[in-house]
């Protein structure tokens, strides 16, 4: 089987749902911009891309009608460049990268893209018209359970205290704020944003501006401030808006090549895809998924936990991230070096692709050889990909 290499991995900023810079920007515009930016970064003909996989957790309405194909066309790629939309909820973007890598490994493609996109401002969590199966919902309601309740379940079952969750959240914001100050987020591509302003005559004027930073980082977050927040999902719970991931809008894209393509285009690889896997767990504690997916990925790769030098472990909730870190014996200092989703946001179908751009950058800056990205997934799954720095 051939090797698949990452040659470009970039993202838009992550901006707060409803209140952030992208609240009125259509998802197709975010995605098409970042697809083009990912290709422009390595200066290859867009027409040479064999296929584009795009992760999206709720592919409907403005994100529907095969977002993957529409965005490819809006990006100005030739008609013979194909696109598809992939859904594995929170790991959709990572799944898209994995599928593109598999095509290269199998010899079905030489250049492929894996991307992700989600506008949580425009398409709400759960979609516009959720329709659970009535009989199945009675038999197995946990399949449709609120993600916040799963976070409470993890906190209760595995003894993750409110104080520890809040401390973790403070650290996430501190790391993200420090990274912004040091201008470390080099994977961000400045992205056009749209807003509509009402005029004196009652009509709306479409205005555009450039957004170049994650606008949800709360650098002044303190433990005392978080302690004042009420539980968000259970009256007697410990999971709050402050120790949960932010709902955000954004897009990200990764270009992958075979070794033959690297030589053809004279492109320097950033990382090699080592392995990817998904693992199932109980739906009512979906946040523990990484503790099953990471060991499974390590076994496939023939590696040990001590071989991994940097992690992007998605912070859907502080409770589940902390539990997975503790259960696996991961050094917390190797996790989310520039902050996680509590500070930077979790744009659902985009996050898997977004974190890859961050992981590649952190892998090179840290000097580590192997890096791991892992996600928990609604419905009771975890996913993990291991990459090797080139």
Tell me the per-residue pLDDT of 182-216, one tens digit each, with 9 for 90 and over: 999 999 999 999 999 999 999 999 999 999 999 99
Q: Which two tokens stand for residue 348?
A: 């659902």
Q: Which two tokens stand for residue 151?
A: 């976070």
Distance from C-alpha of 136 to C-alpha of 377, rounded to nearest angstrom:
20
Distance from C-alpha of 138 to C-alpha of 132, rounded to nearest angstrom:
10
Q: Which residues are catalytic?
A: 90, 346, 376
Distance from C-alpha of 2 to C-alpha of 108, rounded to nearest angstrom:
10
Asked if 120 and 351 count as a contact pair (C-beta separation under 8 A), the reply is no
pLDDT in tens, 220-265: 999 999 999 999 999 999 999 999 999 999 999 999 999 999 999 9
pLDDT in tens, 325-378: 999 999 999 999 999 999 999 999 999 999 999 999 999 999 999 999 999 999
- String of DSSP letters for 222-273: -HHHHHTSPPSS-TT----STTBPPPEEEEEEEEEE-HHHHHHHT---SEEE
Three-class secondary structure of residue 196 per DSSP? strand
Query: What mean pLDDT, rounded, does the chain reach?
Result: 97
Place of tokens 């807003």: 195
Q: What is the pLDDT of residue 140?
A: 93
pTM passes above 0.95:
yes
Question: Given pLDDT bands bounded at 50, 70 and 90, which one contains residue 80?
Answer: very high
Asked if 211 and 182 count as a contact pair (C-beta separation under 8 A), the reply is no
Pairing of strands 204-211, 191-198: antiparallel
pLDDT in tens, 81-100: 999 999 999 999 999 999 99
């Amino acid at each position: 089987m051939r090797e698949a290499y990452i040659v470009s991995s970039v993202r838009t900023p992550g901006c707060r749902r409803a209140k952030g810079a992208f609240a009125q920007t259509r998802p197709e515009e975010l995605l098409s911009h970042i697809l083009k930016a990912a290709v422009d970064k390595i200066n290859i003909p867009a027409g040479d891309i064999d296929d584009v996989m795009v992760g999206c957790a709720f592919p409907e309405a403005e994100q529907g009608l095969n977002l993957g194909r529409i965005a490819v066309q809006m990006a100005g790629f030739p008609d013979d460049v194909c696109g598809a939309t992939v859904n594995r909820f929170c790991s959709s973007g990572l799944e898209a990268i994995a599928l593109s890598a598999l095509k290269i490994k199998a010899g079905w493609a030489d250049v492929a893209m894996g991307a992700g996109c989600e506008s949580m401002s425009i398409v709400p969590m759960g979609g516009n018209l959720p329709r659970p199966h009535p009989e199945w919902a009675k038999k197995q309601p946990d399949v449709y359970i609120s993600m916040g309740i799963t976070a409470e379940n993890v906190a209760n079952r595995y003894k993750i205290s409110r104080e520890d969750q809040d401390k973790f959240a403070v650290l996430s914001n501190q790391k993200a704020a420090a990274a912004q100050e040091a201008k470390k987020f080099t994977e961000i591509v400045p992205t056009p944003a749209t807003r509509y302003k009402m005029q004196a005559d009652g009509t709306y004027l479409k205005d555009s501006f450039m957004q170049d930073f994650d606008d949800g980082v709360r650098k002044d977050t303190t433990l005392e401030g978080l302690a004042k927040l009420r539980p968000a999902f259970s009256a007697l719970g410990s999971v709050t808006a402050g120790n949960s991931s932010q709902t955000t809008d954004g897009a990200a894209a990764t270009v992958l090549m075979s070794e033959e393509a690297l030589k053809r285009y004279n492109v320097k690889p950033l990382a090699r895809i080592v392995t990817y896997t998904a693992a199932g767990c109980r739906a009512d504690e979906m946040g523990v998924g990484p503790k099953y997916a990471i060991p499974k990925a390590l076994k496939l790769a023939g590696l040990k936990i001590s071989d991994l030098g940097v992690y992007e472990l998605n912070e859907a909730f502080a409770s589940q991230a902390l539990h997975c870190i503790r259960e696996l014996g991961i050094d917390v200092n190797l996790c989310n070096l520039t902050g996680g989703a509590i500070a930077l946001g979790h744009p659902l179908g985009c996050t898997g692709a977004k974190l890859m751009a961050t992981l590649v950058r952190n892998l090179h800056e840290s000097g580590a050889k192997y890096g791991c990205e892992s996600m928990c997934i609604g419905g009771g799954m975890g996913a993990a990909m291991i990459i090797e720095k080139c």
